[in-house]
Amino acid sequence: MNPWQQQKPLMVLAPMYDVTDTAFRQIIAKYSKPQSPAAFFTEFVSVEGLASSAGQKLEQMLWFDPAIERPIIAQLFGATPSLFERAARRMVELGFDGIDINMGCPDCTIMKQGSCSALIDNPKLVHEIIAATKAGAGELPVSVKTRIGTNRIVTEKWITYLLQTQPAAITVHGRTAKEMSKVPCHWDEIGKAVAVAKGSGVLIVGNGDVVSLADAREKVKRYGVDGIMLGRAIFGNPWLFAEHEPSIEEKLRVCIEHTRLFEKYFVKGARALKEHNWPPKNFAVMKKHYKAYVNGFDGAKELRIRLMDQESADGVVREIERFMA
C-alpha cells in the first residue's frame, strides 16, 4: 500500500527517536481504531550505520509487525548517496511501504556530520541523496521530512528546490534547526510551502505544535496542507487518533500493556533479540512514557516517582496495581 495515495487529509504518526519503536506503534495501532494513522514511521536510522559492522544490530530499530503496523515507512538519515541507495534496497527486502529521508533533525552532533537539517544548506548533495534513494527504492515512494531553514527561514527557496527532486511527499516542520522547539511553530511558513508546491503533484504535510485531531483538521482547513504529522501529542495518549478520552484506569492498564510489550521485544532474554543477535535496550527508555501516562490525577506524582525506580515490567505492574487497589 502506498501510504501517500490514501484519502486526504492524511493523519500520520511522527518518527521519534527512542519513542516510536514497535512496542509503541503496536499500542497506537490497537487503541487508534477505528481510524488508525495513515502511516507509521520508524525511528530514524543511519545509512552509514547500516553499512557498518553494527548494521545488523541497527536493524533492531526497523523491526515491525507486518500484521499490525501498516502502512509503515522507514526513516533514514545520513550524508552518503551510495549508502542511501544500499539502505533503500534493504528497506525493500524488509517489506516497508515507503522510505522517508530525515532532513529535519536539529541535533548539533548529527548536523556536524552533514546529515539531517544540515542538508538544507547543501542542495547539490540533497539532489544526489534523493536520486540514489529512489534508485534503491524501486517502486517504494520516497518522501522527505524537513524544516524551514537552518539558522534562518528559507521556506520558499528550499521547498522550490526540493520539489525539483519530485519526492512523493514533503513533511514540513515549521521551525528552523536553530529554533529547535523553543519557539511556536511558524504555520504561516508551512502555508507558504503549500503555495509553492501547488500543481507539482507533491504532497505537503504540516508538522509542529498540533495537539489533537480537531486541531489538525483546523490546520488542514486553514493552511491547505494535504495532511498532518502528529508527534508529541501522542505521548501517554494512544487514543489520540480515535479521539477517545480515557479514564485513569484505562491509561494505567495501557501503561502496563505497553511495558509488557517493550519487555517482550527489547529486554534481555527476549526471543527477538536472541533470534537476530540484537542487544537489549535499557529499561529506562520506558520512563519517558511513564511521565506521560501518569499525570493529571490525584496521586499521580507519587506513583510516577515509584515507577521511575522500577527496572522490570513486574515492578511496574506491582506499583500500578497497588495504586489502583
pLDDT for position 268: 85
pLDDT for position 293: 96
Residue 159 has which C-alpha cell?
521547498
Q: What is the pTM of this model?
A: 0.96
CA–centroid distance for 158 within its chain? 22
Residues 6+ apart with CB under 8 A from 48: 78, 79, 80, 83
Cα–Cα distance for residue pair 42/305, rounded to 1 Å: 29
pLDDT for position 325: 87
Q: How many residues does the chain have?
A: 325
Active site residues: 105
- Please report the domains of the chain, with CATH numbers, ordered by start residue: 3-242 (3.20.20.70), 248-324 (no CATH)
pLDDT in tens, the chain (325 residues): 899 999 999 999 999 998 999 999 999 999 999 888 999 999 999 999 999 988 888 999 999 999 999 999 999 999 999 999 999 999 999 999 999 999 999 999 999 999 999 999 999 999 999 999 999 999 999 999 999 999 999 999 999 999 999 999 999 999 999 999 999 999 999 999 999 999 999 999 999 999 999 999 999 999 999 999 999 999 999 999 999 999 999 999 999 999 999 999 998 888 888 888 899 999 999 999 999 999 999 999 999 999 999 999 999 999 999 999 8
pLDDT for position 314: 96
pLDDT for position 34: 87
DSSP 19-66: TSSHHHHHHHHHHSTTS--S-EEEEEEEHHHHTSTTHHHHGGGG---T
pLDDT for position 28: 97
pLDDT for position 57: 85
Q: CA separation (Å) from 265 to 222, 282, 283?
A: 41, 12, 11
pLDDT for position 99: 98
Cα–Cα distance for residue pair 18/235, rounded to 1 Å: 12
The answer to whether 91 touches 137, Cβ cutoff 8 Å, is: yes
pLDDT for position 1: 83
pLDDT for position 56: 84
CA–centroid distance for 78 within its chain? 16
Neighbours of 291 (CB within 10 A): 14
Q: What is the dihedral of CA 36, 278, 258, 285, to 10 degrees?
A: -110
